[in-house]
Chain A
Amino acid sequence: MGGSSVTMTTNGEVEFSDVQGLMRFGYRRMTKARYVLLRVKDAAAARRWLASAKVNTAELKNSKARESKDKPPTTALHIAFTASGLDAIGVPESVIAMFSHEFRTGMATEYRARQLGDLGANAHGHWDWGPRRAEPDVPSSEPDAPVGEPHVLVMFFAEPEEFDDHLQRSTGEAWDKAFEVQRSFPADVDLIEHFGFKDGVSQPKISWDQKRETPKTQLDYTNVAALGEFLLGYRNEYGKFTDRPLLKPGAGNAELLDAVDAPGKKDLARNGTYLVMRQLRQDVRGFWQFVNEQSGDFAEAEKLATAMVGRALDGDPLVPIQMEPIPGVDRKQNQFTFDNDAAGTWCPFGSHARRANPRNTDFPGRPANWLKKLIISLGFGSKDFGYDLASSVRFHRILRRGRNYGTRLKPEDALSPPPPDEGDRGLHFMCLNANISRQFEFVQNAWFANTKFSGMTGESDPLLGNREPIPGCPVTSDFNMPQQSGLRQRVSGLPQFIKVVGGAYFFLPSLRALRYFAGDKTA
């Protein structure tokens, strides 16, 4: 329980040329992108294509370099697999069995639906793509596309003028023979998400140099996360290695790196991670019309929308920015915690941004010595109702890599009725994490979907919530804004603004693992 930190053994520096670039870059300059979900129809051809695919690495390039090969790329290609996808390209079952439970069972299990809030309109049976899209009465956006869990996710990024060329070059004959396209989503970068708010302001800072020494008790909020939270084969926030496939050395896997924590084993997942993808359809008109109806005028509506999101339209936090720097925070908009807003009167507890990251540390109130820590540990801290309700956030961070789809609709335009040809819009939510259960699923379950978050009741995330009743609680569609005067201000009857229409868990392998997958393991 003391403040002793976990001793770091040398892990070896990260070999950036082995890590897919998506881990390190959001490719904001490559504004055009396409996420393609594939089903494998010919395993041998698929492996051939994998062997030829030029996947981008996480190596840092210099834009001032003379040689063009040292300059930052203008296109990018990334590949990830579901568990059934690994099976489809011929990865032995004994190897797949060593991946995590969540990855192997996939996102769309009956029990996981309850945890992630994929109920009601979000239920798997209504999904447009993914494992359970089988109900005939639910119209499909691509009636002729193959159904079932996608096998492979291929992501193409490029600067606009190079995009078509990039797509052309990256596919070709083996691609056509190998895959059936299930969905092909345009995913364009936008710094503003569809509801009109600046997006992606808060991201954890990965300790690439592995200098973060994870303490047993983290008393100050930090934005720096151990490398092992995001990349497999390295120490995580517990100072431990996340479970992953470790193979006996053999002919097919000689090129794989040795496991740091298991002598004599080949680390298939080192420099790889898990990728969570969810297609979230956003009802932008519904959102702005609702807040407008509640408020009467647009300025008030914006205030309510801001409270629900937990940030202003321009990304400013709702609590004052603090003077003291926060480790790993390099922009002012992120330099805050909720320590001085224990009552939630600045930023409502239930707001999306506060649920997404309550910025808690391991102990409430920064105990100064071991005795105070002991007193808190034994349950004799503050008697306040709201004291110590949410978990420490450092074990529950995710790295977001999502992109919008569909045309932008400005808040002020959202109040008018939709044109007859209004298209779909939303977010291809994507996040990277080494432990799906402790990171993505925890955040989605305990913080977003949970109607009891932080001692509240009757409300889930104002943006993501499915508003489904739960046993004993018929209403989950409230949104409360605590007030300094005491009694909260409450908005009731929030409609569902975001609908989940598909999703899957993928593994984003290292380049070595990709080559291992591309090799013929039946030989």
Chain B
Amino acid sequence: MTPQSSFMVLAPIVPAREEELRALLAAMNDSPGIVDPQNALVPFGRFTTLHFARFVILDDLTTGDIGVYGLPTREYPLYLAFLGDVDGSETAFLRWLVGSAPDGLRKLFSCCKDFGPDTDLLDWIQQHRSPPRANYVNTRGRTVGQVHEEAGLRDALEAHITANAAVFQDLSPQAIHAELRWLVYRKTSPKRFTLTAPAPTPLKWRIRNVLHLIGVPLLLLAASPLLIAILPFYLIILRYKEKTDPVVAPTVDQKYSDDLALLEDHDVTNQFSALGSLKPGIFRFLTLFGVLLAVDYAARHIVRPGRLGRIRTIHFARWVFVAGRERMVFFSNYDGSVDSYMDDFINKTAFGLNSSFGNGIGYPVTNWLIKDGCWDERNYKEYLRRHTIPTQVWYKARPGLTAVDMERNTRIRQGLESETISEEAAREWAALL
């Protein structure tokens, strides 16, 4: 299995170069919201292990919200974020990237602080890495190559069935399975059925994964006497804060929302980038830190492939603190339109949303961290839309495929791989076609 990893480069933009940077980013697109995968600056399409990538200017229009706590608006530099989700190690990927598109990257990053003509590109990128606090991968181990191969396999099987519809109509599911197996695995099968076997899981990754699997609970266990002692006080403070924290969810500016919408629904998958400030004080920071620790752990070791709770439409997602611990940015790649995404959040995974986003300034009132919150649909939707920021450049390796499509294609392949199949299993498998 090839595990997936993520990278994110975060750097402040030189104010005088902002316009130039925006123009460069815009030039990477064919039209707003649609990237040219072969664009001259970073030809994403050439990187065959890259699932998703984006450039986002972290333009925070809500920094003044902290005023509801009587605190002055903080001035933050304007950041550029460059992030992606890749197969294998992120370091290897970044090396490949820097080796293949040095000029484009230099051009873009030269608009950021501390980047000069003599700067070592790879070093600079490594220094500006900003790791996620929690990361979600829809299906660990499914590579870009596999996505393409399995999509090709499905297309070929479908074409074969269509071309021989009369024959297939009368076949039993087991006979269909055998017939399609013969098509794909016979010795003379044409090359288009390349189905690469999974690469061995890197030993280093496996060791680290096991250490993480055991280490986090062990640490928690060690800390548990302390945590249990703190818990009553924690809950008292939590309840106090929940009862007094103000909600800030004014109707989002029409033009702002319309401009966001221009970047949406060009593919069956959409990008989502949301930025906001945490409620002031260490309490909310620690709460979010703990919640994201749990989310990250669950995403890594517990959840089923293809599921984030009940949600099956997210390909990759991550939560990242922005240079410090006052602001958090959330990135995801999800299927369907943003409204149905938000409805899914409310109706399927409110507890997860409330416990993480609920620590942000202005989020609808939560109860006991996980209850209510986004159930206040109107305020929640305005809150989230207001915190959504435009994603200037967004790349997806395989347009037209949802996460559920990819799962179906994987199941088709897996079913095909087993030499014998029970009648019941064959029926279920054939129904995937």
Interface residues of A (CB under 8 A from B): 1, 98, 101, 104-105, 109-112, 114-115, 216, 236, 238-243, 343, 362, 376-381, 383, 385, 388-389, 391-392, 395, 437-438, 441-442, 445-446, 450-452, 455, 457, 470-473, 482, 485-490, 492
A488:B254 contact, CB within 8 angstroms? no
A487:B339 contact, CB within 8 angstroms? no
Q: Does B307 contact A (CB under 8 A)?
A: yes
Closest to A482 in B: B431
Most chain B beta-carbon contacts within 10 A, residue among A378, A379, A452, A490: A379
- Provide the bound-state CA to CA distance between A98 and B336, in Å: 27
Q: A104-B254, A383-B304 are contacts. A473–B400 as well, Cβ < 8 Å?
A: yes
Number of residue pairs A-B, CB distance < 8 angstroms: 147
Residues of B within 8 A of A101 (CB): 251-252, 254, 257
A452:B426 contact, CB within 8 angstroms? no
- Provide the bound-state CA to CA distance between A450 and B399, in Å: 15
Closest to B349 in A: A377
Residues of B within 8 A of A388 (CB): 310, 312
- Provide the bound-state CA to CA distance between A343 and B427, in Å: 11
Closest to A98 in B: B251
B433:A452 contact, CB within 8 angstroms? no
- Provide the bound-state CA to CA distance between A473 and B266, in Å: 12
Contacting residue for B336 out of A109, A239, A450, A492, CB 8 A: A450
Query: How would you classify the secondary structure of chain A's contact residues: helix, strand, loop or mixed?
Result: loop
Which one of B45-53, B194-202, B203-211, B405-413 is at the A interface?
B405-413
Subset of 23 A-B contacts with CB under 8 Å: A1-B351, A1-B371, A105-B254, A115-B337, A236-B377, A238-B375, A377-B310, A377-B348, A377-B349, A378-B309, A379-B304, A391-B343, A395-B347, A445-B340, A452-B268, A452-B405, A455-B404, A457-B402, A472-B267, A472-B398, A473-B400, A487-B176, A488-B431
- Provide the bound-state CA to CA distance between A103 and B264, in Å: 19
Residues of B within 8 A of A110 (CB): 262
Q: Does B370 contact A (CB under 8 A)?
A: yes
Closest to B171 in A: A487
Contacting residue for B404 out of A241, A379, A389, A488, CB 8 A: A389
A391:B378 contact, CB within 8 angstroms? no
B308:A238 contact, CB within 8 angstroms? no
- Provide the bound-state CA to CA distance between A109 and B411, in Å: 39
B347:A362 contact, CB within 8 angstroms? yes
Closest to B263 in A: A111
Q: A101-B257, A451-B268 are contacts. A392–B176 as well, Cβ < 8 Å?
A: no
B310:A376 contact, CB within 8 angstroms? yes
Closest to A489 in B: B169
Residues of A within 8 A of B346 (CB): 238
A470:B400 contact, CB within 8 angstroms? yes
Q: Mark B147-177, 1 if CB is under 8 A from A, else 0.
A: 0000000000000011000001101110010
Q: Mark B165-193, 1 if CB is under 8 A from A, else 0.
A: 00011011100100000000000000000
Residues of A within 8 A of B312 (CB): 388-389
Q: Does B335 contact A (CB under 8 A)?
A: yes
- Provide the bound-state CA to CA distance between A115 and B338, in Å: 10
What is the minimal beta-carbon distance from B23 to any residue of chain A, in angstroms? 22
Residues of B within 8 A of A455 (CB): 404, 408
Q: Does B213 contact A (CB under 8 A)?
A: no
Closest to B407 in A: A385
- Provide the bound-state CA to CA distance between A111 and B270, in Å: 13
A487:B431 contact, CB within 8 angstroms? yes
A111:B432 contact, CB within 8 angstroms? no
A240:B347 contact, CB within 8 angstroms? no
Residues of B within 8 A of A385 (CB): 407-408, 411, 428, 432
Q: Does B265 contact A (CB under 8 A)?
A: yes
Q: A243-B378, A446-B337 are contacts. A379–B427 as well, Cβ < 8 Å?
A: no
Given A442-B339, A457-B402, A472-B400, output 17 extra A-B contacts at Cβ < 8 Å: A98-B251, A101-B257, A109-B258, A112-B261, A240-B375, A240-B378, A242-B378, A243-B378, A377-B351, A381-B310, A383-B304, A385-B432, A446-B336, A446-B337, A486-B427, A487-B171, A487-B173
B254:A445 contact, CB within 8 angstroms? no
- Provide the bound-state CA to CA distance between A255 and B68, in Å: 35
Q: A377-B351, A389-B404, A442-B343 are contacts. A486–B304 as well, Cβ < 8 Å?
A: no
A445:B404 contact, CB within 8 angstroms? no
A486:B268 contact, CB within 8 angstroms? no
What is the minimal beta-carbon distance from A363 to any residue of chain B, in angstroms? 9
Closest to A469 in B: B400
Closest 6 CB pairs of A and B: A472-B400, A486-B430, A379-B307, A472-B399, A486-B173, A111-B261
B433:A391 contact, CB within 8 angstroms? no
A115:B265 contact, CB within 8 angstroms? yes
Closest to A102 in B: B339
Most chain A beta-carbon contacts within 10 A, residue among B171, B254, B310, B401: B310
Q: Does B20 contact A (CB under 8 A)?
A: no
Q: Mark B113-143, 1 if CB is under 8 A from A, else 0.
A: 0000000000000000000000000000000
- Provide the bound-state CA to CA distance between A351 and B350, in Å: 31
B402:A452 contact, CB within 8 angstroms? yes
Q: Does B296 contact A (CB under 8 A)?
A: no
A487:B399 contact, CB within 8 angstroms? no
- Provide the bound-state CA to CA distance between A482 and B433, in Å: 10
Contacting residue for B265 out of A111, A343, A487, CB 8 A: A111
What is the minimal beta-carbon distance from B296 to any residue of chain A, in angstroms? 15
Residues of A within 8 A of B377 (CB): 236, 238, 240, 438
Closest to B376 in A: A240
Q: Does B245 contact A (CB under 8 A)?
A: no
A437:B339 contact, CB within 8 angstroms? yes
A379:B308 contact, CB within 8 angstroms? yes
Q: Does B59 contact A (CB under 8 A)?
A: no
- Provide the bound-state CA to CA distance between A450 and B340, in Å: 11
What is the minimal beta-carbon distance from A521 to any residue of chain B, in angstroms? 22
- Provide the bound-state CA to CA distance between A482 and B431, in Å: 7
B268:A470 contact, CB within 8 angstroms? yes
Residues of B within 8 A of A236 (CB): 377
Residues of A within 8 A of B247 (CB): none
Residues of B within 8 A of A392 (CB): 347
Q: Does B90 contact A (CB under 8 A)?
A: no
Q: Does B326 contact A (CB under 8 A)?
A: no
Residues of B within 8 A of A437 (CB): 339
B262:A111 contact, CB within 8 angstroms? yes
